[in-house]
Amino acid sequence: LDRPAPTAAAPLTVRRGAARVLIDNWTGTSTVPSRTLYPHQWSWDSAFIAIGLRHLSVRRAQQELESLLSAQWADGRIPHIVFNSAVPDDAYFPSPDFWRSSTAGRAAGAPAGPETSGIVQPPVHALAAWLVHRADPEESRRRGFLTRVVPRLAAWHDYLLDRRDLGGAGLAAAVHPWEPGMDNSPCWDRALRRVVPAAPEAFQRADLDHGHPADRPTDLDYGRYVRLVTDYRDTGYDDRALRHAFAVEDPCFNALLIVSERALAAMAEETGADSTAHTARADALTQHLVTRLWDERAGLFRVRDLATDTLVEEQGVTGLIPLIVPYLPRHIVSRLVETLTGPHFHAPATRLVPSYALTGHAFDAQRYWRGPAWFNTAWLIHLGLRTHGREQEAERLRRGFLEEAAHSDFAEYIDPITGAARGARHFSWTAALTLDLLC
Ligand code: 9WN
């Protein structure tokens, strides 16, 4: 690709640009992922955003996480969206009147306010809290940050490992394609085919007011997303009452749970509490992850479809993210790096990682999680490479990340082959993680 080489002044300009995005997307208590497409607070977005915000303002990073945690349900779940009541209902679908958390979710302990969704997203939060604490431990202690957030984070993990161990084998299950945060990944196609879509007239999408149809999930996808939420809502979001039509064990989701359990152990030690239960949990989860999801032949982790109790034959970026897990068997680390740098995931021009194998039958360079490269997954893989001492590969990815983030005006995602920007621009986690990789 014929692109101008970055100049020496670039890091400062990029830093300013990224900071501007976060300042513009700040609402006063938290940060919206995008002013246009996502005008509320999202769960895993806030965790990634806090990781970047700590370089601008530790106080703001703490507030980002604490505003999310204040919408936690009594059963421990952290909802994937916390709605801003000042935003009109038709700005985003599904809106509060669809989720009805404060009424339908009452038995499960949804707050009386604010309104939230009833599903969850990957547990990056304890990792984020630990990184925010480490950015300024003295300020954190002075404000009692860990004392407030640790019990909430522990309850969140308890929810996932108790109510969501639907496979009964010690891993947490996702019950909606929005939960692993990779909405229309081909990894869910097989399980989703069993879901009868809601009638098109039962809902009205708002995403196409701001996003291009070729970049977004299809109407058929949305019909199924709506059906799954409606069924969950109608049981009062009760994981024990409903036999979920969609239930998968996702590698990225569980890898983040492991890293976050280790972060909880570190935070417990920091506050003088006992850390052994968290360490033991992380060890057990690591073992289950390998036993349940590792595919030696393919050299990556697979999604397990709990309806058939089989691994899904698709190669998604989710299968590479367990690289973030410390103490992973060495040969698994080597195989993961081989897969990352091999024909399925190696995108030489952008150096980022496609969300789905370049060689896969469903690869689409434009459509959301069916091929485009995302910045949060690149950040996680960078963390994984650093965790396992793969400095050269990590540095290559870091440079690719920073160049593409700047070129794309902090896009939501990019075409992994050409680098063309896709989805929203001035996207918060792209800007936040840029700040983190610049530091
Ligand atoms: C549904 C906010 C979220 C991200 C997800 C991403 C997208 C929502 C949507 O946007 O999902 O939760 O409406 O498409 O897939 O990862 O958290 O940025």
Atom of ligand 1 nearest to the CA of 37: 13
CB atoms < 10 A from the CB of 310, how many? 12
Using the mean position of ligand 1's atoms as its centre, give its distance from the Cα of residue 115 in Å: 17
Using the mean position of ligand 1's atoms as its centre, give its distance from the Cα of residue 389 in Å: 31
Residue nearest to atom 18 of ligand 1 (CA): 33
Using the mean position of ligand 1's atoms as its centre, give its distance from the Cα of residue 48 in Å: 13
Within 123-166, residue ranges assigned H as helices are 125-135, 137-142, 145-162
Instruction: Identify the helix (H) or strand (E) that includes residue 381.
Output: helix 375-387
- Whether the predicted interface score ipTM is above 0.95: yes
What's residue 215's pLDDT? 87
Buried b (16+ CB within 10 A) or exposed e, 161-171: bebbbbbeebb
| Residue stretches of the chain with pLDDT short of 50 | 1-9
Burial of 139 (0-12, 13-18, 19+ CB in 10 A): middle
Atom of ligand 1 nearest to the CA of 207: 13
- Residue with the two structure tokens 């995931």: 345
| Contact yes or no for 316/361 (Cβ under 8 A) | no
CA-to-CA distance for 77 and 63, rounded, in angstroms? 19
Q: Residue 379: CB within 6 Å of ligand 1? A: no
What the chain holds in terms of domains, given with CATH numbers, is 10-438 (1.50.10.10)
Residue nearest to atom 16 of ligand 1 (CA): 181
What's residue 22's pLDDT? 98
Q: Residue 183: CB within 6 Å of ligand 1? A: yes
CA-to-CA distance for 147 and 236, rounded, in angstroms? 31
Q: Residue 159: CB within 6 Å of ligand 1? A: no
What's residue 2's pLDDT? 41
Q: Residue 178: CB within 6 Å of ligand 1? A: yes
Using the mean position of ligand 1's atoms as its centre, give its distance from the Cα of residue 107 in Å: 26
Pairing, β 413-414 against β 421-422: antiparallel
Atom of ligand 1 nearest to the CA of 117: 12
Q: Residue 179: CB within 6 Å of ligand 1? A: no
Q: Residue 42: CB within 6 Å of ligand 1? A: yes
Atom of ligand 1 nearest to the CA of 80: 12
Atom of ligand 1 nearest to the CA of 34: 18
Using the mean position of ligand 1's atoms as its centre, give its distance from the Cα of residue 31 in Å: 14
Which of 35, 38, 99 is the best mutation target for the ligand 1 pocket, counting ligand atoms within 8 Å of the beta carbon and taking the most? 38
User: Distance between the two ends of the chain, CA-based, in angstroms?
Assistant: 27
Query: Which residue, 231, 91, 257, 136, is CA-closest to 175?
Result: 231
Using the mean position of ligand 1's atoms as its centre, give its distance from the Cα of residue 208 in Å: 14
44, β-bridge pairs: none
413, β-bridge pairs: 374, 422
Instruction: Give me the active site residues, please.
Output: 183, 412
161: helix, coil or strand? helix
215's tokens: 């970049």
